Structure 1
Amino acid sequence: MRKIALSAWMLAGLSVSLCLPQAHATDLVGFRETTVADASNQRPLHVALWYPTNATAPLQTWAENPVFQGVQAVKDAAPSQTAHPLVVLSHGYRGNWRNLSWLAPALVAQGYIVAAPDHPGTTSFDQRPAEAAKLWERPKDLRRVIDTLLKDSTLAGSVDPQRIAAIGHSLGGWTVTALAGARYSPQLFLEECQKHPNPRLCGLGPELGITQDNQGPLGADLGDPRVKAVVLLDLGMARGFVPESLSAVKTPALVLAAGVDNADMPVELESGYISANLAPARSSFKVLAEATHFSFMQLCKPGAVALLKKEEPGDEIICGDGAAGDRQQLHQQMAELIGGFLDQRLAGQPPES
């Protein structure tokens, strides 16, 4: 049940398809899984792909388990022939590729290819300490996925190289912030933890390689100029990003934060910190009043709370929203905000000729 619940505080979501204006109304959602190898074979990436397809094969449900709802798609369908923009998704600490799959059908309906890798060391399927302590590899994982999809159109279709975006939840939000070009300072993070002790967040530092000994790798430029827009969903570990580097980020950013703090992640010290230091002309910030950190996760099935209370007491928190919150409505709001932001920010990019 632990891999079902994933009770770590940094997780994300999946659910049912959301109703957004469809740019490609005749397209269905294709789905496949693939592996992106690396030269050393030490960090192969398992990647889930959703993409527009004209296939008429029966829909199947994916990313489902006893607690969470899944999404419907056509397995291994042939991608549609038109070039599409790409969105890469980054899951939270000890999450996995399923975590933001609730958003994938809505993005595909708007014409996007969506790719979600498992980050080795910090995924529920791979918790090797040696890999978890290489936090700087997470942005590189996304770069490798982008490289692969640009080279191989048979996987999910042709990618428009001028229209690439990244979305991350929690530690995934950290990942895409670095991918946007912000620089991280382990020393600054450690100093902030002295000023604002937080056992849950600060205690993860050594596990993620945020130590005095790793000033070099984490402080390097991890940005990818091919990424033209980023979305940060209630990100964590924010206070190590150097303020001057955040203000210099040219990549447009949408920062969405949870208004109900049920994960010991105060808005002003995480999402608020990022927003306060990004250039206002290139960023937007919104606090979703009835969202919790876990509202960015998938919809829970009926009976999920009782099941979690029985199998993993305490994990039922992942199915909780604000007192007046409805997760399906929150997902609708999030999807509309994200979809509108991406369309606006990527529309100005010249399409592939």
Structure 2
Amino acid sequence: MMFIRGFLLWSALLFCIQAQADPGFRQIKSSDRNGEALNVAVWYPASSKGITEYAGENPAFIGVAVIRDAPPVPGVHPLLVISHGYNGNWRNLSWIAAAMAAQGYIVAAPDHPGTSTFNQDPADAKMLWRRPHDITQVIDSVIHSPGLFGETDKDRIAALGHSLGGWTVMSLAGARFDPARFMHDCRQHPQRGDCRLTAKLGIDEARSQEKLSASHRDARIRAVVSLDLGLAPGFTPRSLHDIDLPVLILAARVDRLAQLPAGQESKYLAAGMRAQWRQFAIVDGATHFSFMQLCKPGAETLINEESPGDGVVCRDGSGASRPGIHQELVRKISAFLNSSLDYHAPAGETK
């Protein structure tokens, strides 16, 4: 009898999971008051009307199931904005975007001009301060487009970033960057991965100093997730101490590939923040690139043929499984965001 009851409960749960729709998905162009345009991908809770496709799919990487341009479901939804890493793009973090949309979130991710896969213009790359502004612009666009994505809960907005995206979202949380401080630290650690980007990101240029060191805080953001960030030693201790919103800091256990040691990056953040506002963990088996999307079999070879050396993005720690790492990350990140935003996903919007 217990077996039958358990089987029926499992069957009912399986039916509920299968009955829910894949997230809706749209790609838009967002323009600011100066006419600067951003390419933005948005996932959102949607009805089941439409054909499932796989966003972000290509010969090397696995995409996520979505229903393009599906009508949004009624109701008010929390918003998660995502910032990709250096020379990455919105596809890199599509796995967490789809997972959070399945829990009822609107999730929006831009391609940052100058530091994205599709725009590596040197002049744009040197305007590093624009990255947090990009995220603020995306928040504005989503809030003002309820017909496309559903209504945004303005009291439940969070930001998540990987690598340079981690620096971006920490800036939005109130961390202040001091270029001189960062360059001084790099003189002691010249081989660190982020130190090799000082010139490309314009950190060493006098004309960038004032804009980089200004406050980029967006007070609408109520929680932040940093995934194995870079440039952390440039944040001033005072600004880290003054952060007064929940921050989840996750670092890779294996740092040899990107050379962003947790002790100099993520641990620096955690040590500078007040304990009541931060959670910190090192992810076992993860490299810097384990936070990116899943690679297909043979992807490392394929990527290296087109761009020698870049196939490293498909490597994880010895014996580690990227799907397993992602599963654990989804659990940690969703628990943190739901708790920090005091959000409980409606039963009809979870998958």
What is the TM-score of this pair, normalised by structure 2?
0.90
Kindly indicate whether the alpha-carbon contact (under 8 Å) linking 1:86 and 1:112 is maintained by their aligned counterparts in 2.
yes
Which has the larger displacement, 122-131 or 67-76?
Answer: 122-131
Identity of aligned residues (%): 48
Aligned residue for 2:80?
A: 87
| Partner SS state of residue 177, structure 1 | helix
Kindly state the Cα deviation for residue 40 of structure 1 after the two structures are TM-superposed. Answer: 2.6
The alignment's C-alpha RMSD in Å is 1.9
| Partner SS state of residue 92, structure 1 | coil
Aligned residue for 1:236?
A: 230
CA distance in 2, matches of 1:52, 1:219: 37
Tell whether 2:253 aligns with 1:259. Answer: yes
Kindly state the Cα deviation for residue 85 of structure 1 after the two structures are TM-superposed. Answer: 0.1
Q: Which of 263, 268, 292 does residue 297 from structure 1 map onto? A: 292
Aligned residue for 1:73?
A: 66
Aligned residue for 1:223?
A: 217
Higher relative contact order (CA 8 A, sep 6+): 1
| Partner SS state of residue 182, structure 1 | coil
Larger radius of gyration: 2
Aligned residue for 2:186?
A: 193
Tell whether 2:108 aligns with 1:115. Answer: yes
Aligned residue for 1:316?
A: 311
Kindly state the Cα deviation for residue 329 of structure 1 after the two structures are TM-superposed. Answer: 0.4
Alignment of 1:96-111 (within 5 A): 96-111=89-104
Aligned residue for 2:37?
A: 44
Query: What runs of 5+ residues in structure 2 fail to find an aligned partner?
Result: 1-12, 345-351
Residues 259-300 of structure 1: CA deviation (Å, up to 9, x unaligned): 011211111111111111111111000001210001001111
Residues 218-237 of structure 1: CA deviation (Å, up to 9, x unaligned): 11110011000000000011
| Partner SS state of residue 289, structure 1 | strand
Could you tell me which amino acid in structure 2 is paired with residue 100 of structure 1?
A: L
CA distance in 1, matches of 2:317, 2:205: 38
Aligned residue for 2:301?
A: 306
Tell whether 2:336 aligns with 1:341. Answer: yes
Which has the larger displacement, 72-81 or 307-316?
Answer: 307-316
Kindly indicate whether the alpha-carbon contact (under 8 Å) linking 1:51 and 1:113 is maintained by their aligned counterparts in 2.
yes
May I ask how many residue pairs the two structures share in their alignment? 328
Structure 1 residues 57 and 131, CA, compared in 2 at 3 Å: closer, same or farther? Answer: same
Tell whether 2:156 aligns with 1:163. Answer: yes
Q: Which of 46, 56, 60 does residue 53 from structure 2 map onto? A: 60
Kindly indicate whether the alpha-carbon contact (under 8 Å) linking 1:100 and 1:298 is maintained by their aligned counterparts in 2.
yes
Aligned residue for 1:7?
A: none
CA distance in 2, matches of 1:200, 1:282: 28
Kindly state the Cα deviation for residue 99 of structure 1 after the two structures are TM-superposed. Answer: 1.1
CA distance in 2, matches of 1:211, 1:36: 30
Q: Which of 219, 236, 246 does residue 240 from structure 2 map onto? A: 246
Kindly indicate whether the alpha-carbon contact (under 8 Å) linking 2:186 and 2:195 is maintained by their aligned counterparts in 1.
yes
Could you tell me which amino acid in structure 1 is paired with residue 25 of structure 2?
A: F
What is the TM-score of this pair, normalised by structure 1?
0.89
Residues 127-157 of structure 1: CA deviation (Å, up to 9, x unaligned): 1111111111110110011111112212211
Which has the larger displacement, 216-225 or 201-210?
Answer: 201-210
Aligned residue for 1:285?
A: 280
Query: What runs of 5+ residues in structure 1 fail to find an aligned partner?
Result: 1-18
Kindly state the Cα deviation for residue 201 of structure 1 after the two structures are TM-superposed. Answer: 1.9
Could you tell me which amino acid in structure 2 is paired with residue 56 of structure 1?
A: K
Kindly state the Cα deviation for residue 38 of structure 1 after the two structures are TM-superposed. Answer: 2.1
| Partner SS state of residue 23, structure 2 | strand
CA distance in 2, matches of 1:160, 1:267: 34
Aligned residue for 2:6?
A: none
CA distance in 1, matches of 2:314, 2:343: 38
CA distance in 1, matches of 2:31, 2:326: 33
| Partner SS state of residue 339, structure 1 | helix
Could you tell me which amino acid in structure 2 is paired with residue 141 of structure 1?
A: D
Could you tell me which amino acid in structure 2 is paired with residue 33 of structure 1?
A: Q
Could you tell me which amino acid in structure 1 is paired with residue 76 of structure 2?
A: A
Alignment of 1:203-218 (within 5 A): 203-211=196-204, 213=206, 214-218=208-212
| Partner SS state of residue 188, structure 1 | helix
Aligned residue for 1:10?
A: none
Kindly state the Cα deviation for residue 49 of structure 1 after the two structures are TM-superposed. Answer: 0.4
Alignment of 1:26-37 (within 5 A): 26-37=20-31
CA distance in 2, matches of 1:199, 1:347: 38
CA distance in 1, matches of 2:343, 2:75: 19
CA distance in 2, matches of 1:38, 1:311: 35
Kindly indicate whether the alpha-carbon contact (under 8 Å) linking 2:189 and 2:195 is maintained by their aligned counterparts in 1.
no
Which has the larger displacement, 58-67 or 191-200?
Answer: 191-200
